[in-house]
């Protein structure tokens, strides 16, 4: 069994990682892009570096924890995955507050997600099993979605991007099916978590 959380959090390291990617996106990767769409592209790039890795990291964390359950204590691996995601959402939240302060939907989403992750990681130190399952369902299609967003942002200027955008749009048809399935699973998981929370208060 893994040693439970006793070390310092990985949050500063992961936050530096996403900050480096974000700044590299602005000043290196997308430096030739129109300044108007460069911030959105930078946001997509850090999302790519978060989404798919988070799915694999969370899956590994769940399978290496023998004490799976809504009330089980977080393991060190689960805590590291939570720190990884907290760092991403913090970085992307800062991006939205600077470049899209009127986008209340995304800002609200990021704040709510951070509340859940931070509570699970630092306040109660348990419940990562359920949170990471939801994270996997939420991020499993993020690579296709980000590829479509990037291609859509550049399709007017670059023919190749238009072709990629078209192919990604076809992928989005599958995304609709996957998203519907994920929504159903999230609903079921949320219901079970709600029942579990109600039982704890009795």
pTM, full prediction: 0.78
Residues sharing a CB contact under 8 Å with residue 115, sequence separation 6 or more, in sequence order:
none
The answer, yes or no, to whether residue 4 has pLDDT greater than 80, is no
The answer, yes or no, to whether residue 36 has pLDDT greater than 80, is yes
Closest C-alpha to 132, from 97, 80, 192, 191: 80
Among residues of the chain, what percentage have pLDDT more than 90? 51
Q: What is the pLDDT of residue 25?
A: 94
**Distance from first CA to last CA of the chain, Å, rounded?**
31
Average pLDDT across the chain, whole number: 80
Residues sharing a CB contact under 8 Å with residue 68, sequence separation 6 or more, in sequence order:
62, 129
73 and 126 Cβ atoms separated by less than 8 Å: yes
Residues sharing a CB contact under 8 Å with residue 151, sequence separation 6 or more, in sequence order:
161, 162, 164, 165, 168
Q: What is the mean pLDDT of residues 32-58?
A: 92
Model confidence pLDDT, tens digit, residues 7-16: 457 899 999 9
Q: Which residue has the higher pLDDT, 173 or 106?
A: 106
2 and 76 Cβ atoms separated by less than 8 Å: yes
Model confidence pLDDT, tens digit, residues 77-123: 999 999 999 999 999 999 999 999 999 999 999 999 999 999 999 99
60-74, 81-95, 183-197: which has the highest mean pLDDT? 81-95
CB count in 10 Å sphere of residue 94 = 14
Looking at the chain, list the stretches that DSSP marks H as alpha helix, in order from N- to C-terminal side.
11-24, 38-63, 76-99, 104-118, 128-139, 142-154, 159-201
CB count in 10 Å sphere of residue 101 = 9
CB count in 10 Å sphere of residue 151 = 20
């Amino acid at each position: 069994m893994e040693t439970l959380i006793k070390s310092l959090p990985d949050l500063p390291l992961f936050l530096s990682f996403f900050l480096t990617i974000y700044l590299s996106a602005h000043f290196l990767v997308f430096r030739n892009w129109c300044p108007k769409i460069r911030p959105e592209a930078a946001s997509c790039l850090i999302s790519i570096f978060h989404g798919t890795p988070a799915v694999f990291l969370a899956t590994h964390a769940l399978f290496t924890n023998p004490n799976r359950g809504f009330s089980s204590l977080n393991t060190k691996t689960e805590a590291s995955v939570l720190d990884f995601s907290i760092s991403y959402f913090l970085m992307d939240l800062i991006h939205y507050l600077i470049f899209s302060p009127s986008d209340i939907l995304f800002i609200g989403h990021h704040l709510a997600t951070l509340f859940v992750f931070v509570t699970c990681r630092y306040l109660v130190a348990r419940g990562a099993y359920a949170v990471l399952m939801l994270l996997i369902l939420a991020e499993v299609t993020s690579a296709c979605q980000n590829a479509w967003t990037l291609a859509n942002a550049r399709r007017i200027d670059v023919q190749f991007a238009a072709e990629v955008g078209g192919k990604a749009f076809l992928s989005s048809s599958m995304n609709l099916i996957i998203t519907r399935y994920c929504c159903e699973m999230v609903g079921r998981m949320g219901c079970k978590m709600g029942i579990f929370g109600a039982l704890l208060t009795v």
